[in-house]
Structure 1
C-alpha cells in the first residue's frame, strides 16, 4: 500500500473523476452495451488485480492502475443496477451502503483491523480491494442521488461532498474521531466528489455541465494522474518506510493514527 499523503488524496479524487467519465465514454464508444462493457472491464480489472496480488512491494503505476479500473467497474456496477435493473437510486445507495458495512464487519471480525497500513496478507488485501470496489459503487449511487434525483446539480453536489470531507477532518482533529474510520468515510466521500466534478466538466450545458465531453475530460485527468505517478515513482514520496506503519493516515492531509 502507498503512504497516505496529500498526493494519495489528490490522485484518488482524479481516479474517481476518470472512473465516472471513462465509464460513460466506454459505454458510448465501444458499442457493447452497458452489460458488455461491464464484463469487459471486469475481466481487465481481474487481470490487473492478479498481478497486484503477486507483487510483493508497492508499485505506484500498478496500484493506481488498479484503482482507476476498480473506479470504472464500480461505476458500471452502479449504472447497471440503476439503468438496466431499474432500481431507484435511494434503494441502490442504501443497498451498497449495507454491503460495504458487511464487508467491513467481516474484515474486522477476521483480521481485527481495518487499517490499510496492516495489509500484509492475501486475506487482508482481498478485503481491501473488495471494500474499495463497493466504496466506488456506493459513491456513484450517492453522487447521482444528490446531483440528479435531489436536483442539486453537479457543482453544488461537489461543494456539498467537499464540505462533508472537511467536516470529517474537523471531527477527527477537534473531537478525536477514530482515524481509520475517518479514512474510510473520506474514501467513500471522495468518490461522489470526483464524479460530480467529472460530470460537471463533461456533461452538456443543458444538463448543467460545461460540455467538455467524456473524451477531453478523461484524457485530461488521466494525463494528470500519469504525471503524478511518474513524479511519485521517481521521488518515492509515497513509499512507506520500515517503522512508519503507524504514521498518520492523512485525510487531507493528516487523519490519523490507527
Structure 2
C-alpha cells in the first residue's frame, strides 16, 4: 500500500516542473503574453471581455483536462496551460473592473476573494496547498484553478497600480513594473535567508509575476503618449510566443520531486 502511494505521488508530481530561475523567466514571459494576447482578442479583434473570457475559458478547460490526463510531465503542455491561465486571467480581470463597472479596487477585491476561497477549499479538501500535494486529479484541478485566480489577481493589481482611471493609482507602467520587480526580489530574499513557508512564498511570487507581466505587456502595446512602446498587440504576442517556445526548448525542463519545496 505504501509503495503504491509513493508511485502515485511520484507520477503526479512529475507533471509539475522544478521551480528554478528558468521557471520564473518563462513564467514572466507567459504572463506578458497573456496580457498582449488577451488584449488582442478582446480589444484589437473587438470581441469584448465576456466573449473573450468564454473563448479562453474553453481553451483553459481543454488544456487542464489534457494536463490531468497526461501520463508524465510534458513541458509544452504545461506551459501552454500556464499561458491559457494568463490570457483568461487578463480577460476576466478586465471584465470585472471594466464591464461590471466596479473599477480597479473592486476588481482586485473580487478576484482576491475568489483566490482566498480557492485556497481555502483546496486546503479543506486536501489538508495542504503545497505544490507537493498534487497527487490526484482533484488536487490538480485545485492547483490550476488557484493558478487561474492568482493570474487574474495579478492582472487586476497591475492595472490598479499603473492605470490612472477607474480608481487606479496612476503610477504608470514603468513604475508598476519596478514596484512588482522589487516585490519579487523581496520574496526571493525571504526564500533564501528567512525561515518562512516556501509554499507561501511560492504563491506570493506566482501572484507578483503576473502584474509584472501585465505592466510589461501594457508597456509594449500602449501608445507612446501613454508611456508605452506602441508595438502591435499581435506582433508583441508573436514575439513573446517565439521566446517562450525557444526558452522551453533550450532551458532544462525537469519534473519536480517530492523532496523539493515550492
**TM-score > 0.5 by shorter chain:** yes
1:103 partner SS: helix
Judge conservation of contact 2:199–2:261 (CA < 8 Å) in 1: no
**Of 177, 188, 197, which residue of structure 2 is paired with 1:158?**
177
> Does 1:23 find its partner at 2:38?
yes
Match of 2:239 in 1: 220
> Does 1:174 find its partner at 2:193?
yes
> Does 1:229 find its partner at 2:227?
no
Hey, what's the Cα distance between the residues in 2 that align with 1:211 and 1:147? Answer: 16
1:247 partner SS: coil
- 1:32-47 matched pairs, under 5 angstroms: 32-47=47-62
> Does 1:11 find its partner at 2:23?
no
Hey, what's the Cα distance between the residues in 2 that align with 1:208 and 1:166? Answer: 24
Match of 1:246 in 2: 259
- 1:1-258 matched pairs, under 5 angstroms: 1-148=16-163, 149-232=168-251, 237-240=252-255, 244-249=257-262
Judge conservation of contact 1:147–1:153 (CA < 8 Å) in 2: yes
Hey, what's the Cα distance between the residues in 2 that align with 1:129 and 1:220? Answer: 26
Q: How many residues are paired up?
A: 243
Distance apart, 1:114 and its partner CA? 1.5
Q: Give 5+ residue unaligned stretches, structure 1.
A: 250-258
Distance change >3 Å, CA 4–CA 172, structure 1 → 2: closer
Hey, what's the Cα distance between the residues in 1 that align with 2:172 and 2:45? Answer: 28
Distance apart, 1:153 and its partner CA? 0.5
Hey, what's the Cα distance between the residues in 2 that align with 1:209 and 1:90? Answer: 23
Judge conservation of contact 1:27–1:33 (CA < 8 Å) in 2: yes
Structure 1: 4+ residue segments shifted above 4 A: none
Judge conservation of contact 2:132–2:261 (CA < 8 Å) in 1: no
Q: Give 5+ residue unaligned stretches, structure 2.
A: 1-15
Match of 1:252 in 2: none
Distance apart, 1:213 and its partner CA? 2.2
Hey, what's the Cα distance between the residues in 2 that align with 1:156 and 1:166? Answer: 15
Hey, what's the Cα distance between the residues in 2 that align with 1:114 and 1:134? Answer: 14
